[in-house]
Amino acid sequence: METTATSSRVLIGKRVLITGGARGLGKEFAHAAARAGATVVIADILEEQGKATAQQLSSLGVAVKFVALDLAEEESIRHCVEESVAVLGGLDGLVNNGAIATGIGGKSFEEMDTTTWDRVMTVNLRGTWLMTKFAAPHLRKNCGRVINLASDTALWGAPNLLPYVASKGAVIAMTRSLARELGEAGVTVNAIAPGLTRVEATEYVPAARHQMYEQGRALSRAQYPEDICGAVVFFLSEGSAFITGQLLAVNGGFVMH
């Protein structure tokens, strides 16, 4: 599914780093940004899959490279940004998509253990902060764009998924604060909150949860990665130059905020 927003060449000359780009949402974001004219680095802890994805997208004629990244390790994040800037020759956009979403659901807040809580917060929240921290000097040079992937679970309070929901709620709050701090340099920071999306990372989600989402949406169908790509491309483009600190829920109307 290719929309007008992602098929037009609104990102020509832009250099974009996308975390969690080996598969799922990140892979589709990379493809959409490259189709819109950007040169893209995808970064992920899944090295073999990331390299394969970069090769696959390159074979389609899009400008995509892979850089290894572990969002739980500060030095890995620093190195990822440095290597990406070297590959791209600068940086105009950062999409903070990488996160832990699998294997953490199904437990109440009382059953949740501190190890899982700390791991999710380290990757989803601290990782997003550190990526932005190390990318900021490069983004400031170019009035760059930061897009943080939140989740509509933080808007409706999904149960039995507390670390993930809490981390994504914090990402929304952090987006607003970062927008204030980076605004003087013309850097915009916005968040996108997708609904439950049909990707590899959500294959473990019970069918009843998928059904609840699909029946509860104003647009009553499944959500796919390409449904979110237009918003990502828009927030990376010059068309969003005076939009910052905002949250856009892309979920077919499951949550209207």
pLDDT tens, position by position, 8-64: 899 999 999 999 999 999 999 999 999 999 999 999 999 999 999 999 999 988 889
pLDDT in tens, 217-257: 999 999 999 999 999 999 999 999 999 999 999 999 999 98
pLDDT in tens, 52-81: 999 999 998 888 999 999 999 999 999 999
29, with CB counted inside 10 A (0-12, 13-18, 19+), is buried
Strands 39-44 and 15-19: parallel
Among 193, 196, 192, residue whose Cα is nearest residue 216: 196
pLDDT band at 7 (very low <50, low <70, confident <90, very high): low
- Mean pLDDT for the stretch of residues 113-129: 97
Task: Give residues with Cβ within 8 angstroms of 133, minimum separation 6.
Answer: none
Domains in the chain, start-ordered, CATH in brackets?
Answer: 4-250 (3.40.50.720)
- Mean pLDDT for the stretch of residues 127-131: 98
Contact of 96 with 148, CB cutoff 8 Å: yes
164, 204, 213, 224: the catalytic one is: 164
224 is catalytic: no
